[in-house]
Amino acid sequence: MLPDHAPDKDEGLDTLPEPRPVYYAEQALLGALLLEPHRLPDITGVEPDSFAQHAHGALFAAIRSLPTPDPGRHAKDASWLTAVLTTARKHTRGLTASYLHTLVQVCPWPKHAPAYARMVETDHARRTLRLLAHRLKQTATDTTLPQPVSAALAEADALARCADDLAARFRAHPGSLPRTPAPPPGGTLSGHDEEALDEERSLLATAIAHPAEAEQMRWLTAQDITHPLHAGLWQCLTALTRRGAPVDPVTVLWEAQHKGLLTAEITPRELLDLLETPPGGSPPYWGERILKRGVLATAQRVGARIAAFTDDPATTPYQLVVGSRRALADLTSLRTRWERANHPTPPTMPAYSRTSPPPRASPPSVTTPPSPRISR
């Protein structure tokens, strides 16, 4: 059963959380409609599932399902309220007539019902976006999925559609950038991250052994590689291949020297040892594993970022739109490169072929008419 009023700390209910502002907005909206049901046509953008409280949603559904009573008769007769309560109880037990009385009492102004409905709609949009953001985070970390990247990108698409829907329903305003601090990055270099480092070492070693294959991997960038040294070495290797220069451990070592990668902690011998032991597999194989890891890590980070926006009550609906779109943009370039890695563009064939150039067009022939014969 819903409480007739917000929990009071003096009642020994310190363990109960204080209701959020939307709780009171829902009460005010329902109270307005119970008092003046004829205002229901003015309520737009709100559905029964828009309410955070299930019982409130059941009451709203019951109000919508019943014919609107005559205002004069409604002021004198409580039969319509009884019908609302009976209908709502079919879906939610514990509702009482006293709680409907409470809703009527706590409504400040029934004429403000559209404003209360907008508050309910706004909070529902926030909760929907939060749910989708958490689903993106969970999907990106679910190791049981057969196609985790496809599943994560599908959840990102759902988030983008939700942001588009919010943009259409809530007006833009100045200062639309959210001010919510970014959540701290989680995890340290251990366990699962060591596997990522092994994959990066394998990529470098196989790319040294097969530079022609590495040269075709334009879809992999140094930003996809987690270790700074490995990222720098990948840049050295790709720079050599694109210049058409010889590629082997020594040439990469020489390029690394010019890039400032050799330090007191990284000696030339250690660098050569890293590059001279090619494992199994091929550069594209290891590159796809690295890119896959990057896509999932970015998806998890994007989900956490958008969830942080929704958890900040100071973030307006349109700030949620702008912040979500910016966060999702970080995933867009990765998605494009992932698709290029898995679906390379086939070479285009010319529209037609010819073995010899067409004959050059000659100027049009002009027939000169015979000059008239002059007779003497």
Query: Which tokens belong to 128?
Result: 């929907």
pLDDT given at position 344: 62
Residue 307 has a CB neighbour count (10 Å cut-off) of: 18
Pick from 287, 220, 214, 222: which is nearest to 248 by CA? Answer: 214
Q: Would you give per-residue pLDDT tens digits along the chain (376 residues)?
A: 454 445 544 444 456 678 899 999 999 999 999 999 999 999 999 999 999 999 999 999 999 999 999 888 888 888 999 999 999 999 988 899 999 999 999 999 999 999 999 999 999 999 999 999 999 999 999 999 999 999 999 999 999 999 999 999 988 877 777 778 777 765 443 445 888 999 999 999 999 999 999 999 999 999 999 999 999 999 999 999 999 999 999 999 999 998 888 887 888 888 898 887 766 789 999 999 999 999 999 999 999 999 999 999 989 999 999 999 999 998 998 999 999 998 765 544 444 344 444 444 445 444 444 444 444 3
Q: Letter for the amino acid at 83?
A: A
Measured distance CA(16)–CA(331) in Å, rounded: 39
Pick from 107, 110, 88: which is nearest to 97 by CA? Answer: 88
pLDDT given at position 329: 92
Q: Are 238 and 211 in contact (CB under 8 A)?
A: no
All structural domains of the chain: 9-108 (1.10.860), 123-177+195-342 (1.10.860.10)
Measured distance CA(6)–CA(13) in Å, rounded: 10
Query: Which tokens belong to 195?
Result: 């596997």
Query: Which tokens belong to 36?
Result: 């003046």
Measured distance CA(333)–CA(221) in Å, rounded: 11
Sequential DSSP letters for 44-111: -S--GGG-SSHHHHHHHHHHHHSPPPPHHHHHH--HHHHHHHHHHHTT-TT--HHHHHHHHHH-S-GG
Q: Is the dihedral of CA 324, 327, 332, 335 positive or negative?
A: negative
Pick from 359, 185, 207: which is nearest to 281 by CA? Answer: 207
DSSP 8-state code for residue 141: T
Q: Can you tell me which residue has the tokens 């409609």?
A: 33
Query: Which tokens belong to 348?
Result: 């285009």
Measured distance CA(29)–CA(56) in Å, rounded: 10
- Taking the CA atoms of residue 233, residue 237, residue 240 and residue 242 in that order, the dihedral angle to the nearest 10 degrees is -120
Burial profile 201-237: b = 16 or more Cβ within 10 angstroms, e = fewer: bbbbbbbbbebebbbebebbbeebbbeebbbbbbbbb
Q: Letter for the amino acid at 351?
A: A
Q: Could you report the per-residue pLDDT of 360-376, keeping only the tens digit for each?
A: 444 544 444 444 444 43
Measured distance CA(10)–CA(15) in Å, rounded: 12
